[in-house]
Amino acid sequence: MNFSVLISVYIKENPVFLKNCLDSIFNQSIKPTEVILVKDGLLNEGLNKVINSYSKDYKSLKIFGYKKNKGLGYALSLGLKKCNHDIVIRCDSDDI
């Protein structure tokens, strides 16, 4: 089964929560075909470290974003356009 996971993240998110979320996604028994992560504006160093670490280890992680924060609706709209599958699972960056 092919499916996408869609996540948006912005500067006020907790890097530990994002790490736990990504661990949860990539440790599922049924792995997503792709994980679309949208950076809603510039992020802090902690969030960038987490994202960079996972992008090296997981080729299914695809990163998109805006230079300025536009809000969740815009970020999810962009991310949904980047999803390549009919099934999209929406996930917040603090979900596990």
Give residue for tokens 């092919």: 2
Each residue's pLDDT tens digit, 37-93:
999 999 999 999 999 999 999 999 999 999 999 999 999 999 999 999 999 999 999
Give the global pTM: 0.95
Each residue's pLDDT tens digit, 15-36:
999 999 999 999 999 999 999 9
Pairing of strands 4-9, 34-40: parallel
Nearby residues of 67 by Cβ (< 8 Å), 6 or more positions away:
41, 42
